[in-house]
Amino acid sequence: MAKLSVVNREVKRLRMVKKYAAKRAALKQILCDVSTSEGEREAAKRKLQSLPRNASPCRLRNRCQLTGRPHGYYRRFGLGRNKLRGAAMQGFIPGLVKSSW
């Protein structure tokens, strides 16, 4: 299981990403728009750079919801490979069965 501080850090980052999502989208729209003047574009660039680093969605890491494990994560289920296998064996995930041939 991942350290609790690491899991809490991810939760904090997720809150910050949601908080600044609208502001980041508006600033990025100004930067991508070709009709904006160079001065406005520079101002938008400075404002975007002044936002907190953790407001960027690329700093988020997918983690297992039960253990916080960062590797072997299955997006569809939100679980790591170990917990996914256990949940499938116990029948907690409908339609998912262990393959055998």
Is the pTM higher than 0.95? The answer reads: no
What per-residue confidence (pLDDT) applies to 97? 83
User: pLDDT band at residue 98, thresholds of 50, 70 and 90?
Assistant: confident
Nearest C-alpha neighbor of 21 from the set 57, 62, 59, 58: 57
- Could you report the per-residue pLDDT of 5-45, keeping only the tens digit for each? 999 999 999 999 999 999 999 999 999 998 889 999 999 99
Residue % of the chain over a pLDDT of 70: 100
d(CA 81, CA 17): 26
User: pLDDT band at residue 101, thresholds of 50, 70 and 90?
Assistant: confident
